[in-house]
Structure 1
Amino acid sequence: MNSYSLTNDLILEILSRLPTESVVRFCCVSKRWASMFVTPYFKELCLTRSTANPRLLFALAESGGVWSFFSSPQLENPYEKSPSTLVAHAEFHVKFSPDNLHIHHYYDLRYFSIGYASGLIYIYGDRYQARPLICNPITGRYAILPDRHTYRKAYSFFGFDPIDKQYKVLSMAYPFGPGRSKILTFGDGDMTWRKIKCTLRHESRSEGICINGVLYYLGYTSHARYVIVCFHVRSEKFTFINVERFCRLINYKGNLAVIYWEDDVDIYERCSGTPMIVDTYLEKNLDADANNELRVWVLTDIEKQKWSKYAYTWIDEKFFRRRVSIVGVTATGEIVFSMRKYTPKEPFYVFYFNLGRNTLQCVEIQGFGEAVTKSCSVRTFVNHEENHNVNDLKQLKSVHPPLVEPEYAESDSESD
């Protein structure tokens, strides 16, 4: 059938159901198709479909700075399906290893940053040599950001403004050393680091999480108290929320929440670092005692800084506290835990914990072995949505592996 006999809306309706990799390839079909894919209508159509079918995103970090990206269906209300262990297949997307970018995550975890926001991943490795980058884990395209040399415990974060549709990287300097905090706006124009001022001196003590245009992370002040730093991505202003103790931040149904194990504080004091360092300590001390007393605080009133507090305890034969990380919450409210390490020929599990029922559902993820043959660490992200607001061909210009640049059909050259 000649495509010109179909209306544009019908063509877009059909194409919006395809994976992102296919959409990127189909930009090469003709100028007509390439122009349709960047329209607000098509982007909104794809976002609506992606939001309705969120996925788990897995980033497997192999030796030598090689990353492999997979995704699998994210179970919503998994308890309605079966009480036994379920199985989900991980779809392989791309093996990502840009040359000479030093994105190794295991040399010094105090300085390694990885962030996720609205479909893209930000990675910053070795603080002396690395070039920070933003990549699309589905297509493998990436953009290398300008150099950002930092001192000691500097940390960086990745956020998205849903109003102006802009991604920004926030780099917070170590408060007791040289250098200034800076911010970079990722877009079509010239990307440069701009100085930014924060009124509260603090160290960064967690990775960031972006909720409705606000980037949150845990800070530790010079007065030995914890605060949640709130960076408003659009206005580039800081506000702060007091919090009593060390914790991890999660998005609970669109609201900020904190989550922690009862013995997290003792472990943290031994490690003196970020949650990633705590996780590494747990991996090396699997035989140490660990209790499954989980605490969840949901911020119910941001103005008055009021929290609703909950506590949960459970036992499951497949759930080993020392081997999993808290990775987020689904739209229906299940807390998701994921194993931190993948070992070939051994099962890899993701767990869904339902707060209302106090029940745990185990899901075995299969398919990593199709591209990964050695043991490696795994970073898992919940509620992954493919964001077509990013123009892969224009903003994410670097490609790994190399792809052929778009060549348009001759039949369109004159009419378009």
Structure 2
Amino acid sequence: MERGKNTVSLPTDLILEIFTRLPSKSVARFRTLSKHWASTLHSPDFKKLFLTRSSARPRLLFAVERYRYNEWFFFSSPQPQNRYETSLPLEYHTKFEGDVCQYICSYASGLIYFPFVRIIDKEKPLICNPITGMYDDLPIRGCSRSRGFLGFDPIDEQFKVLDFHSVLTVESGEPEWRDTEDVSVDLYHLYHRCSNAGICINGVLYYLAQTYIEPSFVIVSFDVRSEKLEFIDASCLNDHVEHPSELSLVNSQGKLGVINCKCADAGGIELCMWVLEDVKTQEWVKCVYTLPQNEVLDSCEFKVAGVAATGEIVLCMKYTCDPYYAFYFNPVKNTLQCVEIQGFGAKFDATVEKRGVVYGIVDYVEDLNLNDAEQLKSSISQIKSLCSCCQKGGQHNHNIEEEV
């Protein structure tokens, strides 16, 4: 029998189904095969199908900062699909070097925003795709350093940055800062922003603030589409929290949640979560959970990564180490799942100087529209950093296998 006589080509629908199960970087490579595949894999229908499939298997995104070296690394790992999974692989994505100063990064709908990055010949805010490494720098607000948060409007599909009462729409061309016309901005002189990162939920950006006189917690709410600012009373947190850094803002089933972790009186770890049940009435509901005893969790420093769509509260070890673990607490069943994330490696924590601080982000979904975003034009791996100490810049080797 002649070779190839019974060769049967696969149906296009089946091929597209296979492509939807690949990482976005692999899809990008297959687009270069031919004009036909470039057109097919760039089509809106395929992008929508890919997003649907990706949403069904969300990932845990890790942003790792090695501040002694002015380095940021981005990794991701699958989230467990069942309670029996005890280990999951880690995938490296990209890295950049640049002095980020003291301002924490902000995340919204697949993009990372750094309010202030010092790179060669410029000091600007920066927005990037942590999976592909594509980025663009943004203009500084007036003469001051930006310290804003990133938000996303799912209706108009627009990213915007809020810095106090100034707004910048992230788009191709030359974006410019502008002041909001909301009358509530007059209240800004009564509040100061806390250092906690903001969170965007269903097109609304939230961040934590405190009053200057008789300090009390408030939540600043910003509707990304209408650009309307509101202030939500959060004085329920006053008697339970000593410092704002103890609090984490989370998306709790589509509602704003605030979580505080502390040691329980009877031993172990206690999670206090306040959920904003009704924005109009500003009604908060408090839940207190005592986590089941776990030798690994009880012996390490950890941070709240968020609340998964499944309702599990996700905790991550604060520093890179080997082995490294993430923890999934189910408040309904009162169960704690300890999952080893394999791949950080021993080199990250060989010394205190080399270890990295880990920021976890739950339910990360790959979106091909972000890969093709017109405003992201440069590769973050080509960034040249500017050392704030010696003011010397240079191109760095970005081989993760050699440097980590």
The residue correspondences of 1:55-134 to structure 2 (distance < 5 A) are 55-62=59-66, 63-78=68-83, 81=84, 86-97=86-97, 101-103=98-100, 107=101, 109=102, 112-125=103-116, 130-134=123-127
Partner in structure 2 of residue 276 of structure 1: none
Q: Is the 8 A contact 1:261 1:295 kept in 2?
A: yes
Code of the aligned partner of 2:91: E
SS of residue paired to 1:28: coil
Taking the aligned partners of 2:198 and 2:342, their CA distance within structure 1 comes to: 28
| 1:160 aligned to which of 149, 152, 155 | 152
Q: Is the 8 A contact 2:250 2:259 kept in 1?
A: yes
Unaligned runs of 5+ in 2: 238-243, 383-404
Partner in structure 1 of residue 250 of structure 2: 250
Q: Is the 8 A contact 1:24 1:392 kept in 2?
A: no
Q: Is the 8 A contact 2:115 2:149 kept in 1?
A: no
Residue 230 (str. 1) matches residue 235 (str. 2): no
Code of the aligned partner of 1:72: S
SS of residue paired to 2:345: helix
User: What are the Cα deviations for residues 340-362 of structure 1, in whole angstroms up to 9, with x where unaligned?
Assistant: 1113xx32111111111222221
Residue 145 (str. 1) matches residue 135 (str. 2): no
Q: Percent identity?
A: 47
Decide which moves more: 328-337 or 188-197.
Answer: 188-197
| 1:200 aligned to which of 180, 187, 192 | 187
Taking the aligned partners of 1:217 and 1:69, their CA distance within structure 2 comes to: 24
SS of residue paired to 1:24: helix
Instruction: Please report how far the alpha carbon of residue 77 of structure 1 lies from its aligned counterpart in structure 2 after TM superposition.
Output: 4.9
Taking the aligned partners of 1:14 and 1:361, their CA distance within structure 2 comes to: 31
User: What are the Cα deviations for residues 126-154 of structure 1, in whole angstroms up to 9, with x where unaligned?
Assistant: 589632111111111111112346658x6
| 2:326 aligned to which of 350, 363, 379 | 350
Taking the aligned partners of 2:131 and 2:307, their CA distance within structure 1 comes to: 22
Residue 218 (str. 1) matches residue 208 (str. 2): yes
Instruction: Please report how far the alpha carbon of residue 395 of structure 1 lies from its aligned counterpart in structure 2 after TM superposition.
Output: 2.4
SS of residue paired to 1:113: coil
Partner in structure 2 of residue 399 of structure 1: 379
Change (3 A) 1:36 1:394: farther
SS of residue paired to 2:65: strand
Taking the aligned partners of 1:321 and 1:228, their CA distance within structure 2 comes to: 33
User: What are the Cα deviations for residues 251-290 of structure 1, in whole angstroms up to 9, with x where unaligned?
Assistant: 01111112113589xxxxxxxxxxxxxxxxxxxxxxxx99
Q: Is the 8 A contact 1:87 1:364 kept in 2?
A: yes
Change (3 A) 1:235 1:292: same
Partner in structure 2 of residue 18 of structure 1: 22
Taking the aligned partners of 1:262 and 1:338, their CA distance within structure 2 comes to: 15
| 2:337 aligned to which of 335, 338, 361 | 361
Instruction: Please report how far the alpha carbon of residue 317 of structure 1 lies from its aligned counterpart in structure 2 after TM superposition.
Output: 1.6
SS of residue paired to 1:200: helix
Change (3 A) 1:316 1:299: same
Partner in structure 2 of residue 189 of structure 1: 173
Taking the aligned partners of 2:115 and 2:93, their CA distance within structure 1 comes to: 21
CA RMSD of the aligned region, Å?
A: 2.9
Taking the aligned partners of 2:202 and 2:260, their CA distance within structure 1 comes to: 23
Taking the aligned partners of 2:381 and 2:118, their CA distance within structure 1 comes to: 25
Residue 383 (str. 1) matches residue 380 (str. 2): no
How many residues are treated as equivalent by the alignment? 350
User: What are the Cα deviations for residues 316-340 of structure 1, in whole angstroms up to 9, with x where unaligned?
Assistant: 2211486111110111111011111
Code of the aligned partner of 1:328: G
SS of residue paired to 2:107: strand
Code of the aligned partner of 1:357: K
Instruction: Please report how far the alpha carbon of residue 7 of structure 1 lies from its aligned counterpart in structure 2 after TM superposition.
Output: 7.4
Instruction: Please report how far the alpha carbon of residue 367 of structure 1 lies from its aligned counterpart in structure 2 after TM superposition.
Output: 0.5
Q: Is the 8 A contact 1:255 1:299 kept in 2?
A: yes
Q: Is the 8 A contact 1:92 1:368 kept in 2?
A: no
Question: Could you tell me the TM-score, scaled by structure 1's length?
Answer: 0.76
Q: Is the 8 A contact 1:167 1:185 kept in 2?
A: yes
Q: Is the 8 A contact 2:117 2:126 kept in 1?
A: no
Partner in structure 2 of residue 325 of structure 1: 303
User: What are the Cα deviations for residues 47-71 of structure 1, in whole angstroms up to 9, with x where unaligned?
Assistant: 1111110000111223432222111
Unaligned runs of 5+ in 1: 173-180, 265-288, 403-416
Taking the aligned partners of 1:228 and 1:127, their CA distance within structure 2 comes to: 30
Q: Is the 8 A contact 1:92 1:371 kept in 2?
A: no
Change (3 A) 1:238 1:261: same
SS of residue paired to 1:390: helix
Instruction: Please report how far the alpha carbon of residue 6 of structure 1 lies from its aligned counterpart in structure 2 after TM superposition.
Output: 7.5
Q: Is the 8 A contact 1:324 1:337 kept in 2?
A: yes
Instruction: Please report how far the alpha carbon of residue 199 of structure 1 lies from its aligned counterpart in structure 2 after TM superposition.
Output: 3.8
Change (3 A) 1:185 1:33: farther
SS of residue paired to 1:43: helix
